Amino acid sequence: MPKILVVSDLHYPTPRSELLPNIIKREKPDTVVLLGDVIDNSGSGRKVIDLYKEFVRSYRKLFPLSKSVILLGDNDGRNPDYSINSELATFIKELGVANKDPITYRTGNMLFFHGNLEDSFLKEKMGYYAGKVAVKLSRKLMPALLLWLVRRRFRLSSDTILFIGHLHYLGVLGNGVVCGTLHSRKILYGRKDSMGYVVLDYNGKRLGTEDIRIARL
Ligand SMILES: [Mn+2]
């Protein structure tokens, strides 16, 4: 059965993003979905596009771009007004990746989206502080809330399995999957709740929750 590897929040070149080559070698996927926040230029002073080009130079030796879905997240060079970095969107499109839209990818009964609904600095900060409080109440509160908000935004039927990242949380919640991170820095969740990736055994028609495997690192 074709295997889909989903890796979110790689945050290249931060420590542990180097795990990706080993994951691809181990899992031997047919398709790779990079679910946004592929790169992270925070504090590096480097241009996002230059960092992305550097990442792609090594990635394309690991796995074919034509079998890769590459989506944008908020750390992939979002503009100050929270709109998409069109230079980066064009760059990704021209790589010949499997997805036409750099924001969402739909196949079968699945939808992949990074998960960043925040459209202002204030909302982002509020989300972060709400998250700090929510995590103390329940580790699953923020993942459940974000999955619900994204489902609402895209008007998804309950049959659609939604894949998001962004929270650096790894787990399945009903018909939603939060796909973890390879970033080792604690944001809201510790390593045990956040680090890892997702593998799907997809029959080409319909994905069931029993076809989803979570791999923790
Ligand atoms: Mn993010």
Neighbour count for residue 64 (Cβ, 10 Å): 13
Domain with residue 131: its CATH number is: 3.60.21
Compute how many other C-beta atoms are within 10 angstroms of the C-beta atom of residue 190.
12
Ligand 1 center to 190 CA (angstroms): 16
Distance 60 CA to ligand 1 centre (A): 23
Measure 22 CA to ligand 1 centroid, in angstroms: 23
Give the predicted TM-score (pTM) of the model: 0.96
The alpha carbon dihedral of 18, 23, 28, 30 has a sign of negative
What is the distance, to the nearest Å, from the Cα of residue 131 to the centroid of all Cα atoms in its chain? 18
C-alpha to C-alpha distances, 31 to 28, 69, 154, 167, nearest whole angstrom:
9, 8, 24, 23
For 181-203, the pLDDT digits (tens) are: 999 899 999 999 999 999 999 99
Range of the domain at 183: 3-216
Q: How far is the CA of 95 from the centre of ligand 1 (A)?
A: 22
* Percentage of the residues of the chain whose pLDDT score is greater than 90: 84
Tens-digit pLDDT profile for residues 133-183 = 999 999 999 999 999 999 999 999 999 999 999 999 999 999 999 999 999
Bridge partners of 40? Answer: none
58 Cα to the center of ligand 1, angstroms:
22
Inform me whether the pLDDT recorded for 113 exceeds 90.
Answer: yes
Distance of CA 201 from the midpoint of ligand 1 (Å): 25
Span 5-11, mean pLDDT? 97
DSSP secondary structure string for all residues of 106-137? EETTEEEE------SHHHHHHHHHHHHHHHHH
What average pLDDT is seen over the chain?
A: 94
Ligand 1 centre to CA of 9 (Å) is: 7
- How many angstroms is it from 64 CA to the middle of ligand 1? 24
Number of domains in the chain: 1
